[in-house]
Chains A and B, each alone.
Chain A
């Protein structure tokens, strides 16, 4: 990685001098987002709190802008690093504008009076997080989503070079999660910020991070770019999850499949099958899915939810072998569902399967989706 703006050298973090995680070596360049992921209580916050000096280091060093942080004054650090931590703050009688204005603290004089330029920067930062309308509102009376935006504006108003965020998206709805991360991404690009944060949402972490660090109780388990980290097997292992599955491409989760002899055969394809699979899973009905090309949208979900999947190779029309196998499986099922409406050269044999089911009186009507 190129010139680390913030890096740790053999850092050990913990409480009361007892190391919890040792030999932490992180390197974060400007213009990059580094995300810490890992199970609850794995030590993500402990690492972040140590970096911002809320907790004392147990060993090692954190180097910020080329200098060891233990030798820097609070003021020197505050001009380079700002934070957005979890935990609600309840300042009395403060408007949102006042809260953002506290970000100017490292730049004001003895009495902390803001200059005209300082107030302009406050207004700009409120604008950046699309919260200009909140300026006069009482900070204690706005929603969680608005509060996080205001606190982000506060952190930006401090004109940091590195931003430390501890689970900034917790308690936010999807709209606010997306908004917050979009603003963050913009800031990283336009201001060449370095960002280090912890996230619970794996799907978002996968999409926003340039670099991912997996924290696992007593060690940094792995670190690297998201494409190396987010594999289905590793995610399940990192979180010690035994039930259900993780889809590495989409970052989505599926519950564990219903096992047993399939009772229902689902003729799927093009995404039409997924809602049906999920419904059957919820109802606890074991089912078979087919015939799906291995690059079909339905395939990854079918393969983790169905007790049997009849599949065809990528970009191939359904062949004779797959067709016969599917017909045999269908034979053993009492019911057949076909949410697919459109058939073409590639899935012509699926249409035949549907006809066979109808003749056998097994086809049940289901709402037809796309495909």
Chain B
């Protein structure tokens, strides 16, 4: 046990250092460069405006919080489906949220109203629950987890197609914004957005953390979890709600972001050599934050001044991990073995 705790501490320390470094680097990077000294000075003397306070810091915080949320959402879904390649994007949950948000935005814009943060989250949540519902129905029919993932990908494509269709035919000048958002980006985040997303994400995280014990039991499979005293029906609902609200929150603010939900939990579990939720949940959050900060850094700087959409970058780094997982399957709980 002791050796394990030393590893956990070392890994947490590493993640902490990476997070701090990337935060500073992200604030620094861009068309206007700041020295670390200037950054710290500005951070210690808050003001309403300026490039750091007005533009970069909210974006950096959003990338960190939403990245963490996606990663945790992926971890919860992997536990639920007992499948290492489950994630909000792969299962079409992000795309469902995207569709619902697009519809809401178009409807509201056509009446000249801009949607508030909470409204967008609510729409995204409804959309992700809809996709989730389909996935759950499908999971009753198909026994093979790989088929379920294929089903999720299909649902994702259908939702994306409808979204594209709506965006193409929607008549509004704001559609450019909508288009950018639908590809995924952390740009244009306001301080109000950061407050709302932090509130939602950290509440969901705290609740997930309180579910550590049943999550740990559930990793042993449903039968054993029940025999260990877990109320399976209630637990499944809680898990679904939490993972959906987390990924919905991300989609509402940053659009669909791919592969973070699969790649990060996998890397975290391999790094910590444990999937125990008590350790893995906070670690996945930190890992997701680091991963998304890194990807956003590349998105902003690789082809500056053009911003790439964040999904392109996360896919480049995340998709190979998924391919590796599919190919190796080691340690994965694929249902075929059952």
Binding site for B on A (CB under 8 A): 52-54, 73-75, 77-79, 81-83, 85, 87-94, 98-99, 102-103, 105-106, 108, 110-113, 119, 140, 158
Contact = CB atoms under 8 A, between A and B. Distances in A.
Secondary structure call for the A interface = loop
Most buried by A among B210, B213, B220, B331: B220
A316 B119 CA distance: 98
B1 A105 contact: no
B269 A102 contact: no
Contact of B212 (A75, A111, A158): A111
B334 A54 contact: no
Contacts of A112: 212-213, 216-217, 278
Contacts of A89: 220-221, 224, 333, 338
A92 B223 contact: no
Contacts of A77: 227, 229
A93 B278 contact: no
Nearest to B216: A112
Given A75-B229, A105-B213, A106-B228, A90 B223 contact: no
B312 interface: no
B230 interface: yes
Given A78-B229, A111-B278, A83 B331 contact: no
A111 B269 CA distance: 19
Contacts of B232: 74
B331 A102 contact: no
Given A105-B217, A110-B210, A92 B224 contact: no
Contacts of A52: 223, 226-227
B231 interface: yes
A224 B19 CA distance: 67
A102 B216 contact: yes
Interface in B1-59: 1
Contacts of A111: 210, 212-213, 278
Nearest to A82: B227
A133 B274 CA distance: 20
Contact of A74 (B1, B212, B230, B337): B230
A98 to B, nearest CB: 8
Which 9 A-B pairs rank lowest in CB-CB distance, beginning with the nearest? A112-B213, A78-B229, A105-B228, A75-B229, A90-B333, A92-B275, A83-B227, A106-B229, A74-B229
A113 B334 CA distance: 28
Given A75-B229, A83-B227, A102-B228, A92 B219 contact: yes
Interface string B180-219: 0000000000000000000000000000001011001101
Interface in B260-283: 269, 273-276, 278
Given A54-B222, A94-B275, 20 more contacts: A52-B227, A73-B231, A74-B226, A79-B229, A83-B223, A89-B221, A89-B333, A90-B331, A90-B332, A91-B220, A91-B221, A91-B275, A92-B332, A93-B273, A98-B276, A102-B216, A102-B217, A106-B229, A111-B278, A140-B331
A53 B274 contact: no
A52 B224 CA distance: 10
27 contacts: A52-B223, A53-B226, A74-B226, A74-B229, A74-B230, A74-B232, A78-B228, A83-B223, A85-B223, A87-B221, A89-B220, A89-B221, A90-B332, A90-B333, A91-B219, A92-B275, A92-B333, A93-B275, A93-B331, A94-B219, A99-B220, A102-B220, A105-B230, A108-B213, A111-B212, A112-B212, A140-B330
B9 to A, nearest CB: 16
Contacts of A140: 330-331
A91 B228 CA distance: 15
Interface string B317-338: 0000000000000111110011
Contacts of A102: 216-217, 220, 224, 228
Nearest to B227: A83
Interface in B284-322: none
Contacts of A94: 219, 275
A73 B273 CA distance: 34
Interface in B158-176: none
B74 interface: no
A220 B21 CA distance: 69
A237 B217 CA distance: 43
